[in-house]
Amino acid sequence: MPLDLGALQKACKGDLVQGARHLCRGQIDLFRGSAKSGRVTVACTQEEPLFREIAAEEGLGAALAFVNIRETAGWSTEAKQASAKIAALLALADHAPEPQKFVTLESEGVTLILGRDEVAVAAAEALADTLDITVVLTGEAEVAPLRKTRFPVRRGIARQAKGHLGDFEVTIDGYAEPAPSSRTKLEFGASRNGLSSRADLIIDLTGRPPLFTAYDLREGYLRADPQDPAAVARLVTKAASLVGTFDKPKYVAFSSDLCAHSRSRITGCTRCLDLCPAGAITPAHDHVVIDPYICGGCGQCSAACPTGAASYDFPSTERLIGKIRTLLAAYREAGGEKSILLLHDGEHGAELIDAAARHSAGLPANVLPLQVNELTQVGIETIAAAFAYGAAHVRFLLRAKPRHDPEGLRQTLALAEPILVSLGYGDAAAAVIETDDPDVMLEALAGLPPGNASARSASFIASGGKREILRLALRELHRVAPTPVDVVALPERAPFGRVRVETAGCTLCLSCVSACPTSALSAGDDRPLLRFDEGLCVQCGLCRVTCPEKVVSLEPRLSFAAFTGGPAMVKEEEPFCCISCGKAFGVKSTIEKIVAKLDGKHWMYAGDNAKRLDLVKMCEDCRVSEVTNSGFDPYAASPRPALITSEDYFAERERQRQLKLNNGPEGEGGAS
C-alpha cells in the first residue's frame, strides 16, 4: 500500500503513527514494544488473532483495536489519494464495541424431522445418537420398515407451526402410526387431525413450502431440499450442534408506552406489523409485542417506527450515528472532499468490497465504507445525520436478489428523497446499489456526480430516544442545507405531518385528544379548546378514525418550524356556566344547541316536564344534588294507566250485571 505516513501523522492529531512492511512476522517486535500499555490500533484485521494471541501470552497491557485499511483503501488504483479516508478509518477504530444484550435459548435435542421419503429416515439415522428423533413422513413415497426401531416413524403433514429453538409447537393433520408387522413398506393405520407436537428443533425435508416466513431467520428451523445431498449433509451437521444453551442477540428494544398501534380497540399505526418478515410482531391491546426469541434482526420495525417505541439495539441508533459522525468529521479534517458513505452488511457487502480490492480497481478514495448489521435497520434519522455531517452521497449495498424483501429500506429512501431534494442535496442523493458483481458496484460509485454536500457541516452529538434523535438530525440537516425551505410535502404514511380539523363541524368533544398517543393533540385545563403540536404528530391516524363527527384529516409533510413552534390553537369556544353554582363546564354552543333541540320538542321536556331542561344546564355535581334532594327523576315518563288484573275484570263485569238487574226494561229511568 502506498501509505503517506506524514499525511496520516498530521491527520491523527498528535497520535504516533508508525509504518511497517511485515508487522505480523519480521517486525513483530515493533508490535510488542508498542502494545505494552495505553491504546494501540493495528491497521490489519487479517492477522488479528495472531496479535491478540501474542498480547495474551506475553501479558501486553495495551487496549487493542483493529481496522482494515487494505481492502477498503490501500488496495485501490486511487490509493495515493486515500490518506484522508485511511485517517477516517483509523479514527473510527477508536470506537469501543458497544455492550450487547442477549436472550437465552435452551435446547435438549428433541427433534421433529418432517420428510417424504428415505432421505428423512437417513438423516434421522445419522442424528439418532445425538438427538431425540421423531420422524413424520407425508406418505407421498413408499418407505421400507426399519430393521430396528431406534426412533418412531409416523405419517402426517405439518399444517402449521409456531415457536423457536427450544420451544416449537407443530400441528399435524393425518397423523397415523405404522403397523409393526409392515413388511415391504410401512403400512399406516387410522389417521387423526389436529395433533399437537412439541420439539426443540424442526428439520424440514419435505420439499414443501416452509412453515415460516423468512424461515432462515427462525432459530431451530432447519430446511433443505431433499434432492440436494450436500444441503442435507450440511443441515445434519448443523442440527447435531444445536443441543445446549445458546445466546441470541436481542436486536430491538421496545417501549410499549410509546407505541401508537391502537387506542380503545381502534387500530392506528401498523408499520412494524406490515414489514416484519419473521412474524415476530403481534398486536397486544393498545400496543404490539416483539418476540425477541423470533426476531431475526432485520431492523425494519425500528426504521419505520414513528414514535421510537421500537429502537434498534445492535448497535443502537445513537451509536451508529456516532460512528458516522466520527468517520465523516475525520475525513473532512484530513482534507477529504465529496465523501460517499457506503453502508454495507458483513456478509454480502464485505465480500464484494474484498473482491473489488483483490481482483479489480478497489474502492475510490472518496468512498467511506461502514459496516452495519442489517441495511434495513437504517432509518431516516441516520440518513439525515449523514448529510448533515457533510456526506455528498449515501449508498446502500444490497444483493441483486435480496433474501428478504427490503421494503422498509425502500420506504425510508422514498421518505428521504423529497426532503433531500427540497433542501438542495440533489436527486438520488441516497439510494441503493443492488448487485453481486464488484465491477458493477465500482461503476455505480464512480459514476456518481460530485453532489451538493453541505459547505458548513454539522457536528451535533446524537443522544436521547429515537424520536428525539430524528428531530435533532432533521433540524441540523435543515440548518446546514444548501437551499433550506420551511415545509416539505411527504408521501403517505410519513411519520411527520399535521392534522386538519374542520372547525365548523368540531364539537370539542376531545375524543381525538384521548386517542392521541403522543399528546400532539391537547385540551385546555379550564376552557373548551383544542391545540395541536405538529412537532409531536406521527400521523398514526387514530384521531381521524376516532372523531365521531369525521372532521379530522391528515396531511403528511415536514415542517421544520414545527420542531420548535410548540402547540397551536385549533379551536376554542366559550364554556357554559352552571346555572346553579356558576362552574364552567362543557361548550356553550353545544349546550345551547342541545337545549334548543329538546325544548318542547321531546316528550321528556314538554309541558310540565320543561323544568327537566335545567338539569342539562347544570354541572355534574349540581345535577346529582338536584336529583337527589328534590326526589326528581329526570327519566320519569307520564303516569301509566292502572294495571287491570283478572279479578278487576270479573268484579267490573259483576258490577255491570247488577246494574242491569236494578235498571230493568220496565224500571228504566228509576222506580215510579
The SS3 of residue 324 is: helix
Rounded CA gap, 135 and 118, in Å?
11
Q: Which residues pair with 310 in a beta bridge?
A: 254
Query: Identity (one letter) of the amino acid at 124?
Result: A
Considering only the C-alpha atoms of the chain, give the largest distance between any 2 of them, rounded to a whole number of Å.
155
The length of the chain in residues reads: 672
Give alpha helix (H) positions in 241-299.
271-275
Asked if residue 154 lies in contact with residue 136, where contact means CB atoms within 8 angstroms, the answer is: yes
Burial class (CB in 10 A: 0-12, 13-18, 19+), 47: middle
- Is the preceding omega at residue 229 within 30 degrees of 0, hence cis? no
Residue 671 has a pLDDT of: 43
Residue identified by cell 356556566 is: 577
Domains of the chain from N-terminus onward: 5-66 (no CATH), 105-248 (3.50.50.60), 251-312 (3.30.70.20), 317-483 (3.40.50), 489-572 (3.30.70.3270), 579-584+597-630 (no CATH)
The string over 512-539, giving b where at least 16 C-beta atoms fall within 10 Å of a residue's C-beta and e elsewhere, is bbebbbbebbbeeeeebbbbbbbbbbbb
Question: In the numeric block, which cell numbers belong to residue 281?
Answer: 410482531
Asked if residue 605 lies in contact with residue 613, where contact means CB atoms within 8 angstroms, the answer is: yes
Asked if residue 298 lies in contact with residue 272, where contact means CB atoms within 8 angstroms, the answer is: no
Question: In the numeric block, which cell numbers belong to residue 397?
Answer: 449495498
Mean pLDDT by 10 residues, the chain (672 residues): 88 85 93 93 95 95 94 96 95 84 96 97 96 96 93 96 97 96 94 96 97 95 97 97 96 95 94 96 95 96 96 93 96 94 97 97 97 96 97 97 94 97 96 97 95 90 93 96 96 95 93 95 90 96 95 97 93 90 86 83 68 85 84 63 82 87 61 40
Asked if residue 395 lies in contact with residue 342, where contact means CB atoms within 8 angstroms, the answer is: yes
Rounded CA gap, 385 and 463, in Å?
12
Residue identified by cell 438520488 is: 428
Q: Which residues pair with 201 in a beta bridge?
A: 111
Q: 93 CB contacts (<8 Å, ≥6 apart)?
A: 41, 65, 66, 67
Residue 598 has a pLDDT of: 82
The string over 208-231, giving b where at least 16 C-beta atoms fall within 10 Å of a residue's C-beta and e elsewhere, is eeebbebbebbbbbbbbebeeeee
Rounded (5°) CA angle 99-103-107: 140
Residue 238 has a pLDDT of: 97
Asked if residue 381 lies in contact with residue 466, where contact means CB atoms within 8 angstroms, the answer is: yes
Q: 126 CB contacts (<8 Å, ≥6 apart)?
A: 236
> φ and ψ at 260, to 5 degrees?
-110, 30
Asked if residue 373 lies in contact with residue 408, where contact means CB atoms within 8 angstroms, the answer is: no
Asked if residue 562 lies in contact with residue 328, where contact means CB atoms within 8 angstroms, the answer is: no
Strands 110-115 and 102-107: unpaired
Residue identified by cell 473482491 is: 355
The SS3 of residue 54 is: helix
Q: Which residues pair with 394 in a beta bridge?
A: 341, 430
What is the layout of strands, in order, in the sheet containing 167-176? 195-199, 167-176, 153-164, 132-137, 110-115, 201-205, 221-223
Q: How far apart are the first and last CA of the chain?
A: 148
pTM: 0.87
